[in-house]
Structure 1
Amino acid sequence: MNINSTLITLKEVEENQFFFNIPIYQRLYVWEEDQIKTLLEDIETAFSDGKELFYLGGVLVVKNDTLDNGKVYDLIDGQQRFTTLWMISIIFGGDLTPFVERNEKQKSRHRVTFAIRDDIYLFFKEYINNITVKGATSQIVNALSLITKFKEQFDLEQAGKSLEIATFINEKVKLIFTEVPFQTDLNKLFEIINNRGVQLQHHEILKSQLINKIPSDERLKYSHIWDACSYMESYIEKNIRDIAKIRIQDLYENNPSKEGEEKLAKPSNLLDVINSIQNDSFSSLSLSYILNSSETYEQQTSSDIDEYEADEVRSIISFPMLLQHTLRIFLAEKEENDIPKILDKELLKIFTNSFFTPDRKDTDIKSFIELLWSVRYLFDKHIIKWVRQEDSETHLICKLEKYESKNNYYLRRRQPTTNEGEALLQSMLYHSQQITTHYWLTPYLNYLLKHNGQNGYNYLKKLDNHLFCSSVQGSLSSRTREFIINEDYETNLSTEILKIKDANDALGVAFPHYWFYKLEYILWEKFSSTKGDRWKYFKMTAKNSVEHISPQTQKTTDTNTVTEEMLNNFGNLSLVSRSINSEYSNLPFNEKKQRFVNNNRIKLDSLKMDLIYENDSWNNEIAIRHQNEMEIIINDYLELTN
């Protein structure tokens, strides 16, 4: 099979007049918010860093048709990423406009089409022409909404920034464009795709660089610790049990765990146990074993070791991100310079510049891997994960506990029976901060390390306040370093942004989402014990649309409205999901209230809106009163003078 691969930019796609069809056998667009946010944040970071090239993976195509001027390809691999780039082009415009469609005599030819899905074609046809229609999947609608919010945020930061990013995407983002022959047996090709060798990830290469610098007789045990830390979709105690074949229940007791003194948390104890079961004749570890060991342990059975129970979970960060948070703590302890920024895709470059210094000893490498174990253990013990519950996922901190059954002891991860403030606060930070960095994690994990995990919740509240409610300017990287060096570091807090302003200064849809999320947490903490189960069990969910309680386009018959001066102020705004924003649209206050009541009988979407819709009417006076009350509640929480 003759397969050709080239690097190609979107600009070159336009110049070559390539068009792409999503075949009927391919699933429709399924990317969720996290994947889209990661892509856009990575692109924005590369743009801000002035990168000359940004590699974005590959697409696999087979020729479908030849046009008078151009070619049509079937996209058979990489279509989710490519479709997202196309939707970004629709929203951002500018130099990306030719990538959206080509104007022809009869009609415009979309760059991306969906085989025999006329409803999707018609939706995009109208959407591109700024006509609001229905007919797309919820994933497509949500993706377009999220991309629009990113564009608005970029232009709020700097006028015209989205157009500059559009030029960057068009000229500097490169894809590996792989074309297979027209006569290719697609069944065989899919088999090749599914069974092809996976390229080594950057953290696996980093592992080999580090482990090879450790004396040969110690490599295996440090390799085991690294592998246990690297698999983020399971808890670390299960990982080390499966990899090193140790009895984890012997290293854990419930009461010491409450004080942060469990043996399993200490890397020295773990190394001693691994040493005791290692084959004395083992003297060296090959590079191939180092790289392959982490790929095989998931299939190993351990029924002969001990039983273990835990729900299906998903980490809020990747392993390369965890490595960089750990590296920041390591460098601070060594009083060395911090890394410039957390960047998943530049893991090797970051370690080359900040860790692999000429005077770095093998003892430093062992210390780093031991620190990695400690950080990952505390991460699993104190940081939220996505936990599967029936047909959805939610943020929970599931505690490890030891229990007895039939005269034997076992370990399990137990879901909390009630809503917990620590988890809800972290969920607020997760949803309101950049998904590819989460800088707040570094000082928080550092504090947990220094205090055996004790009193972390109170510290996290303080950290959140002084990082995100501060008048201090500067990058989150530099500001979080201050907290790593000095955990008592404080700043001047400010809620100036919440104050009522005139119509010209009110932010409206550009109001920072953080303050909506923050208020939800504060309201829950203050009132959940007195307002019933809907408040008690409230969960943070992804929201990306600012809703006007009194609509922007008001009907002349609607008496529940605010004036132009109040319309775009915090008191008349709430944060909702794209679907709710579309449902409410420009409905008058009474109709929105009834829909909110109908849709929130069991669980609440928004605590702020629940307070708003306790009112029977809505006007300037009530909106201003609501805004002032919310400001007082936030100021009280921050211990500011009203």
Structure 2
Amino acid sequence: MTFAALTPDLCTVRDLFAGDTAYSVPVYQRSFAWQAEQIEQLIADVADAQTDGSDGYFLGNLVVTPLAGKRDLSVVDGQQRLTTLYLLLTYLLRTSEHEHPQHTGRLRYESRPRSSETLRRIDGGYPEQSVRATPESELEQGIVRAFNVIEQTVQQKFTASQQAAFLTYLLDSVQVVRVTLPDRTDLNRYFEIMNTRGQQLEQVDIVKARLMATLDEGDRACFAWVWDACADMDSYVQRSIALGDAELRTALFGDTWTWLAPTDFDELHGIHQRLKQAAPGSIRPSGSMTLSQAIDVYAQSAAEAPADPSETDRFRSTIEFPSLLLHVLKVFLSESGESEGALDDKQLIKRFNEVFKQRGPADVRRFCFTLLHCRHSFDTFVLKREHLARYEDDGEWSLQRALKRTSGGRHTLGYAHTFQRGSTDDEAVDGRTQDLIHLQSMLRVTYTSPRIMHWITLVLRHLHSRDAASVTAEELVDLLRDYARGKVSESFFTATEPQGFEVPRIVFTYLDYVLLKEHAVDGFSRDFDFGFRTSIEHFYPQQPDAEQTGSVVSSECLKLLGNLALVSVSANSKFSNSLPRSKAFNFTDTIERQSPKLALMAQITREQGWNDHQIREHHDAMRAMLQADLQ
């Protein structure tokens, strides 16, 4: 197969489903797997492009091949994006009078009856609630959850008129390159080529090369050393910057291997010079460089020895390296506030070009040290996901500092909870570290997109002017609680108090945090884990199950905060349209994993029932609790 034989078409979303084009997902493709984070990000990206006035937004590639003897196109690559677009169109068109392409029925699945049945129900105009009420075994739950995420995201993000404008932009301005492989393509050969081809330069590569191009030989080598270590986001920087070199690690992080010792780039450069003298083969070519030459030098960086798999598989960073660079850039510039697009990784090159086009080597060297300082602070004081055999597949929230362990005269890198006194291997998280984990994980699950994780910038900026060894958990808790309080105040206590799907996620998550920390709620302890919850649950349902009996709630109370809680998509699906008493008694385990506020509502229901009186009373109590906390 030659790439010249490929047939690429630049299609709008309207074009994708024009005519009689239909798409078939082959059985070898994995099931739909996008989670709330990816779906919300796609919607946010398109909405941002629309707000910015962009003529078009490129969504990526869709690779297809003709099906023999049929007019359908088999989806080779891009199923997740295509399915999300299909479901998004379906939801937006339900309440729109927009003339739209006949996309209904144009997405099919080979040998997957549950997936096909799920789309059939959604396509056929069934109320979304009937999909929820169907037994889980009959439907593809990944698609059900995705549709639920789309519903809530759109309702929270757009008014009715904004939805119509967003739909128009989605149909006519969002573009996809549809690449059609020749008939009878050897797909095994195609995947082999795509998986083994040389990787293209990414934005971080271009930024790195442009910054390096301003430096002399010695500074370039030091810059590349620091940059490459900081780019390895899933291991602590103490490991990646001094792989297997105990002496170097001590020079950089002291005898304990915990706190960064150099205070500026010159000290880093001195340490690196000693490193080069010990390993002269690492010296780079000298002389001034163009951008293309800098890219060549960057590409020749010697690969580090592979890390111990038990180390690299243990931790997962909260953000990727491009996002870290944007946080560091804000710290470098001493920027406060949450300017639009400042953390948008699509604008990485543009942001760095704007900042450094008039700056020289001194500023690049200062940025290099700022990067290392922030990366060390990030590792030590910003939570990660930790994966160990004793944890579930998703891992657990972790806030640990790196340190030196010594056994049998051999030094190795180990970890202890960040604010735990001493350096013991105690698995139990100390109280001070746990307090900060709860607060940071609350913010992490609230602001799921890296582009709105401004709280991380806040932490890094605060730490940049502090001696890391003297930082306390209490000062970081106060810093982040004040941040969360500001968000609650500006989004909830407004002239027109939000209701229903308009209540911001931070109101629910911060309420849960306050309840967890300062109030006794049955079934909850310090071990509670803030998980990703994106569905607003009406405890008394909007369309109650007709077969159940119980108190009736008025329309005035239905959308009050007192009747709402934030739950996961799967929990929302389980609850379906059951009445509060059924939820309170039949789903106790689910409730206790979801939300302290939800547990409190269930407790009230079991003791008193759930009607207008209980809703208003609970609403007033939660509102008063927030007001007292904000003062």
Q: Tell me which interval the TM-score lies in, with the shorter structure as reference length.
A: 0.7 to 0.9
Which residue of structure 1 lines up, in the alignment, with residue 424 of structure 2? none
Pick closer, same or farther for the CA change 1:243–1:182 going to 2, 3 Å: farther
1:458 aligns with 2:478: yes
Cα offsets for 1:179-220 (capped at 9, x unmatched): 221121122112112112222111111111111111123211
Is the deviation greater in 456-465 or in 530-539? 530-539
1:226 aligns with 2:237: no
The within-5 A match list for 1:400-439 is: 400-414=402-416, 417-418=428-429, 420-433=434-447, 435-437=449-451, 438-439=453-454
Which residue of structure 2 lines up, in the alignment, with residue 378 of structure 1? 377
What secondary structure is seen at the aligned counterpart in 2 of 1:160?
helix
Q: Deviation of residue 308 (structure 1)?
A: 9.4
- Aligned residue type for 1:449: H
Q: Deviation of residue 627 (structure 1)?
A: 2.2
- Aligned residue type for 2:38: Q
The within-5 A match list for 1:526-605 is: 526-527=518-519, 534-554=524-544, 558-599=549-590, 604-605=593-594
Q: Deviation of residue 244 (structure 1)?
A: 8.7
Cα offsets for 1:332-363 (capped at 9, x unmatched): 37x999785321112112222x21333x1111
What secondary structure is seen at the aligned counterpart in 2 of 1:31?
coil
The within-5 A match list for 1:33-48 is: 33-48=36-51
- Aligned residue type for 2:465: K
Q: Deviation of residue 269 (structure 1)?
A: 4.5
Which residue of structure 2 lines up, in the alignment, with residue 488 of structure 1? none
Aligned residues: 584
Pick closer, same or farther for the CA change 1:533–1:413 going to 2, 3 Å: farther
Q: Deviation of residue 580 (structure 1)?
A: 1.7
Q: For residues 8 and 482 of structure 2, what CA distance do their matches in structure 1 show? A: 52
Match of 1:511 among 503, 523, 539: 503
Contact 1:63 1:182 in 2 (8 A): yes
- Aligned residue type for 2:65: V
Pick closer, same or farther for the CA change 1:237–1:268 going to 2, 3 Å: farther
Match of 1:469 among 472, 488, 500: 488
Which residue of structure 2 lines up, in the alignment, with residue 287 of structure 1? 294
The within-5 A match list for 1:69-468 is: 71-93=71-93, 98-99=100-101, 101=103, 110-131=105-126, 132-133=130-131, 134=134, 135-156=138-159, 159-242=160-243, 247-252=248-253, 257=258, 262-263=260-261, 269-279=267-277, 282-284=283-285, 287-288=294-295, 290-292=297-299, 296-297=303-304, 300-301=305-306, 312-332=314-334, 341-352=342-353, 354-358=354-358, 360-388=359-387, 389-414=391-416, 417-418=428-429, 420-433=434-447, 435-437=449-451, 438-453=453-468, 454=471, 455-466=475-486, 468=487
Pick closer, same or farther for the CA change 1:434–1:273 going to 2, 3 Å: same
- Aligned residue type for 2:125: N
Cα offsets for 1:531-552 (capped at 9, x unmatched): 6884211111111222222333
Pick closer, same or farther for the CA change 1:310–1:78 going to 2, 3 Å: closer
Which residue of structure 1 lines up, in the alignment, with residue 289 of structure 2? none
Q: For residues 614 and 465 of structure 2, what CA distance do their matches in structure 1 show? A: 48
- Provide the aligned C-alpha RMSD in A: 3.2
What secondary structure is seen at the aligned counterpart in 2 of 1:633?
helix
**Structure 2: unaligned runs, 5 residues or longer:** 287-292, 418-426
Match of 2:31 among 18, 28, 33: 28
Q: Deviation of residue 289 (structure 1)?
A: 5.1
Q: Deviation of residue 31 (structure 1)?
A: 1.4
Which residue of structure 1 lines up, in the alignment, with residue 493 of structure 2? 496
- Aligned residue type for 2:77: D
Which residue of structure 2 lines up, in the alignment, with residue 608 of structure 1? 597
Contact 2:328 2:374 in 1 (8 A): yes
Match of 1:8 among 11, 24, 37: 11
Is the deviation greater in 287-296 or in 611-620? 287-296
Cα offsets for 1:574-598 (capped at 9, x unmatched): 1112222222223222211112324
Cα offsets for 1:450-493 (capped at 9, x unmatched): 12342322212222223x0344xxxxxxxxxxxxxxxxxxxxxx
Pick closer, same or farther for the CA change 1:548–1:12 going to 2, 3 Å: closer
Contact 1:309 1:411 in 2 (8 A): no
Contact 2:516 2:524 in 1 (8 A): no
What secondary structure is seen at the aligned counterpart in 2 of 1:242?
coil
Cα offsets for 1:239-289 (capped at 9, x unmatched): 2123999642454358795xxx54278655443322211145735275355
Q: For residues 294 and 596 of structure 1, what CA distance do their matches in structure 2 show? A: 55
Contact 1:267 1:370 in 2 (8 A): yes
What secondary structure is seen at the aligned counterpart in 1 of 2:525?
helix
Contact 1:38 1:436 in 2 (8 A): no
Q: Deviation of residue 100 (structure 1)?
A: 5.7
- Aligned residue type for 2:379: D
- Aligned residue type for 1:514: I
Q: For residues 28 and 81 of structure 2, what CA distance do their matches in structure 1 show? A: 17
Pick closer, same or farther for the CA change 1:19–1:408 going to 2, 3 Å: same
What secondary structure is seen at the aligned counterpart in 1 of 2:34?
coil
Q: TM-score, normalised by structure 2?
A: 0.84
What secondary structure is seen at the aligned counterpart in 2 of 1:536?
coil
Contact 1:431 1:542 in 2 (8 A): yes
Q: Deviation of residue 309 (structure 1)?
A: 5.2
- Aligned residue type for 2:595: S
Q: For residues 414 and 96 of structure 1, what CA distance do their matches in structure 2 show? A: 57
Q: For residues 26 and 79 of structure 1, what CA distance do their matches in structure 2 show? A: 8
Contact 2:62 2:75 in 1 (8 A): yes
Q: For residues 170 and 492 of structure 2, what CA distance do their matches in structure 1 show? A: 36
Pick closer, same or farther for the CA change 1:349–1:574 going to 2, 3 Å: same
Contact 1:242 1:301 in 2 (8 A): no
- Aligned residue type for 1:430: R
What secondary structure is seen at the aligned counterpart in 2 of 1:604?
helix
Contact 1:10 1:99 in 2 (8 A): no
Identity of aligned residues (%): 25
Contact 1:550 1:572 in 2 (8 A): yes
Q: For residues 336 and 417 of structure 1, what CA distance do their matches in structure 2 show? A: 36
- Aligned residue type for 1:597: T
Q: For residues 7 and 271 of structure 2, what CA distance do their matches in structure 1 show? A: 51
Is the deviation greater in 560-569 or in 323-332? 560-569
**Structure 1: unaligned runs, 5 residues or longer:** 103-109, 472-493
Contact 1:509 1:547 in 2 (8 A): no
Q: For residues 549 and 181 of structure 2, what CA distance do their matches in structure 1 show? A: 61
Contact 1:53 1:173 in 2 (8 A): yes
Q: Deviation of residue 95 (structure 1)?
A: 9.0
- Aligned residue type for 1:457: V
Pick closer, same or farther for the CA change 1:384–1:374 going to 2, 3 Å: same
Which residue of structure 2 lines up, in the alignment, with residue 105 of structure 1? none
Q: Deviation of residue 561 (structure 1)?
A: 4.3
Pick closer, same or farther for the CA change 1:283–1:399 going to 2, 3 Å: closer
Q: For residues 206 and 573 of structure 1, what CA distance do their matches in structure 2 show? A: 45
Pick closer, same or farther for the CA change 1:336–1:587 going to 2, 3 Å: closer
Q: Deviation of residue 429 (structure 1)?
A: 1.4
Cα offsets for 1:30-77 (capped at 9, x unmatched): 11222222222111111111111212221222111566xxx4211111
Cα offsets for 1:598-628 (capped at 9, x unmatched): 445xx53210122222221223333322222
Q: For residues 49 and 502 of structure 2, what CA distance do their matches in structure 1 show? A: 24
Q: Deviation of residue 559 (structure 1)?
A: 4.3
Cα offsets for 1:518-569 (capped at 9, x unmatched): 1011111113xx6688421111111122222233345697444443332221
Q: TM-score, normalised by structure 1?
A: 0.83
Contact 1:7 1:177 in 2 (8 A): yes
Contact 1:86 1:99 in 2 (8 A): no
